[in-house]
Structure 1
């Protein structure tokens, strides 16, 4: 294996590592365990408020820190150092959830906020390292490999943890509560162990001269404003990824409102994970054939169709089919958005620019759920609530059409790298 290929696989393995937190902690066990164990006896609406505030506080911290720290990381060639710090924060906080006793919801919230900051805060630096391991023509495939491994790794550990919670005796555990606490430790260990190859084999970019801090951040904002392709893509991404993320976080609630059993919803989550593995990698291949932007359009078309389908959804079987359709495109649209953006930005400022990219992603965690929630509140229909997301995909696609493809603009033949500089991003 060549050093270059080793660095690409090592980079992608970090997705395998940290996705366990997204599946087992964020989407799976924490919400249920918080309500039934840590916050037992707290009013249901208060439990929901506490969980919502937990996500909001963590998102605000990451939004404020990511662009600023990204600028510092670029200047000092410290992207791996910052990623290591956030990884350690996430790992330690997740493992510490094992120690939180019944009724100690305050500690659970504090550790969850720290874990989320570790997870989301590290993504900017991880994404920025893509430009260190892949040439522009390789970025779709390498980014897709990362998301594919993330779906597979996160799904495998989630499946084991679900088995632990359902049948704790098989694993020598006393009950489901202990099994859930052990699951948090397993996530921490998984994250720590599989993150190691990145820190060993992925190269760091060169340091740049100049100041760091808020002045640098303001310069980056000015730079983005001057690069039409970058800010137009960020606006398009903000809208369509808002719809994607809202479906991810609202799908289980939607199924529950339609009366589907919780076991069926867990099966659907696992389907998305395991279908997402080969599908994300396939999208990297597809982008090479039809172009990255056209592959994103295809994914957006599927999401638009899913929202229309959800309006008339009537059975668990249809819910499974809808989950399968989402699994086919979810990893693809995430991975190709990352690689497309990586080709638009100046490589020497990847940390700063990916700080803004992930900041837009965090902003997207606010608007979509709010629209869905308000629609459900005023109409009383969960079907109309999901249908309200259709506009996010349509407008996002229209804005994306106004972004000039960087490879086509450069006239680069397939398989050939092109120079990376600030001038490239202004095309």
Structure 2
């Protein structure tokens, strides 16, 4: 499986302006041609190293944003009756997240390209992490009145934009800290740590702010102080656990002899590289497009899961958080099992199986008459989301030439966000269409998400898996 002359020439045509050390990294390069994991030189099969653990702690910390803020607590607060009609609030949130997705689609790949060329991947990970923490903390000022709804949705949407920028650089570190033999397991470990971090964050929120074990001033429900303090807690949690990766994973070397682009020139250069990629390796482009669709659906499962639990199945916030804790345990197990299967049977098989499981589970939620069915099929959704997310990241990492991780993961974010408005828009549209005809219209938002997952699965089926698959 060595680097053939034809494949080397292909990479040279694709990235003609890169130094030769980057051009020689092929999509099917042997293990020795990948950047060595900092702690893996002695034992390349070792998974849990100091850089890997520090890298995974960023996922652990970001769970406070993903699980607490955008899924199970703060968005449930925003779409509650405190801010007006719950269906209307859900539409506003869906539209706000759709606009954020368009912003990410326009900016993420250029951010990745420029961080690769400038050798500032870790720096921009830190900058964007700080911005997310500040925006999250600012949600403290979203008081429970309808006039504050737009402020709350705006802060959540902006936090999601900068969180995605941070994630581009975070994901691009995956080949730095793993080897081709362990990349699936390391990716699964990172996702699993994220889910476990979500469990801890949700438990702390539940027992100190929502239903406190010991009464204290911060747990006061006056002006929803306890729920607004959730935002402050999430910001501190994220920032604290994000720090280790900024010290343990070294900064990448910049291309000092390479060209420097203005912002507009970066878009032109990006367009040239995408066209070259399409000519030389179309299946990578096909995967980016297919994963964009199904990842949008995966994100929507978590984004709107807590909202559906509360609005459709009548879960009070306490039960929403309990479900979230149990769901994160299931999702963590699914992600780690999926990571092992990824290195064993290949990422494409794991993703296809997971998407089929998600479609079955999602329809189970839609047809469930009560809370019991939501518990069963909702936990099944959690089980399959983790492996699909983890293997999607590992899939692209197996295809990425050395030195181009930020750029391709920027494209990964962009293709995802280019259609990221799709799932929220279909969720909102399905509710809006059903509202005149049924009493509980929010349930029909599930169908919009299922359409997105099905389309992603159909687009993925003809895509050729990576050379290392199987």
TM-score, length basis structure 1: 0.85
One of 64, 71, 86 as aligned partner of 1:20: 64
Check the 8 A contact 2:105/2:416 in 1, yes or no: no
CA distance in 2, matches of 1:389, 1:96: 30
CA distance in 2, matches of 1:356, 1:168: 43
Q: What does the per-residue CA deviation read over 1:401-422, in whole Å, with 9 as the maximum and x for residues that have no partner? A: 332222348xxxx8xxxxxxxx
What is the aligned partner in structure 1 of residue 178 from structure 2?
134
What is the aligned partner in structure 2 of residue 215 from structure 1?
268
Number of aligned residue pairs: 408
What is the aligned partner in structure 2 of residue 319 from structure 1?
374
CA distance in 2, matches of 1:99, 1:388: 32
Counterpart mapping for 1:361-380 below 5 A: 361-378=416-433, 380=437
Shift of 1:23: 1.3
Check the 8 A contact 2:124/2:166 in 1, yes or no: yes
* 1:397 corresponds to 2:457: yes
CA distance in 2, matches of 1:322, 1:340: 27
CA distance in 2, matches of 1:182, 1:233: 41
State the secondary structure of the residue aligned to 1:348. Answer: coil
State the secondary structure of the residue aligned to 2:335. Answer: helix
What is the aligned partner in structure 2 of residue 420 from structure 1?
none
CA distance in 2, matches of 1:117, 1:254: 23
State the secondary structure of the residue aligned to 1:191. Answer: helix
CA distance in 2, matches of 1:372, 1:55: 11
What is the aligned partner in structure 1 of residue 194 from structure 2?
150
**CA 1:311–1:98 in 2, change beyond 3 Å: closer, same or farther?**
closer
What is the aligned partner in structure 2 of residue 201 from structure 1?
248
State the secondary structure of the residue aligned to 1:230. Answer: helix
CA distance in 1, matches of 2:65, 2:109: 23
Check the 8 A contact 1:271/1:323 in 2, yes or no: no
One of 103, 119, 141 as aligned partner of 2:163: 119
Q: What does the per-residue CA deviation read over 1:310-369, in whole Å, with 9 as the maximum and x for residues that have no partner? A: 343223222111122112111111011001011122232111111111122223432223
Q: Larger % of helix: which? A: 1
What is the aligned partner in structure 1 of residue 46 from structure 2?
none
Runs (5+) with no aligned partner, structure 1: 415-427
Q: What does the per-residue CA deviation read over 1:211-260, in whole Å, with 9 as the maximum and x for residues that have no partner? A: 33223222232233222121110121122223323333333444456443
CA distance in 1, matches of 2:417, 2:131: 19
CA distance in 1, matches of 2:297, 2:156: 25
Check the 8 A contact 1:71/1:216 in 2, yes or no: no
What is the aligned partner in structure 1 of residue 341 from structure 2?
286
**CA 1:376–1:44 in 2, change beyond 3 Å: closer, same or farther?**
closer
Task: Provide the alpha-carbon RMSD of the alignment.
Answer: 2.9
Check the 8 A contact 1:132/1:204 in 2, yes or no: no
Shift of 1:48: 4.6
Check the 8 A contact 1:88/1:118 in 2, yes or no: no
Check the 8 A contact 1:241/1:364 in 2, yes or no: no
**CA 1:310–1:94 in 2, change beyond 3 Å: closer, same or farther?**
closer
Check the 8 A contact 2:111/2:165 in 1, yes or no: no
Shift of 1:73: 0.5
What is the aligned partner in structure 1 of residue 131 from structure 2?
89
One of 74, 79, 90 as aligned partner of 2:116: 74
State the secondary structure of the residue aligned to 1:112. Answer: helix
Runs (5+) with no aligned partner, structure 2: 1-36, 41-48
CA distance in 1, matches of 2:444, 2:154: 35
TM-score, length basis structure 2: 0.78
Q: What does the per-residue CA deviation read over 1:249-299, in whole Å, with 9 as the maximum and x for residues that have no partner? A: 333444456443335444332222121112211111122222221111221
**CA 1:102–1:207 in 2, change beyond 3 Å: closer, same or farther?**
same
CA distance in 2, matches of 1:159, 1:255: 18
What is the aligned partner in structure 2 of residue 3 from structure 1?
39
Check the 8 A contact 1:133/1:203 in 2, yes or no: no
Check the 8 A contact 2:209/2:226 in 1, yes or no: yes
**CA 1:192–1:83 in 2, change beyond 3 Å: closer, same or farther?**
same
* 1:248 corresponds to 2:287: no
**CA 1:44–1:368 in 2, change beyond 3 Å: closer, same or farther?**
closer
CA distance in 1, matches of 2:64, 2:91: 25
CA distance in 2, matches of 1:114, 1:373: 19
Check the 8 A contact 1:62/1:120 in 2, yes or no: yes
What is the aligned partner in structure 2 of residue 164 from structure 1?
208
What is the aligned partner in structure 2 of residue 347 from structure 1?
402
What is the aligned partner in structure 2 of residue 418 from structure 1?
none
CA distance in 1, matches of 2:87, 2:384: 34
Between 91-100 and 141-150, the greater mean CA deviation after superposition: 91-100
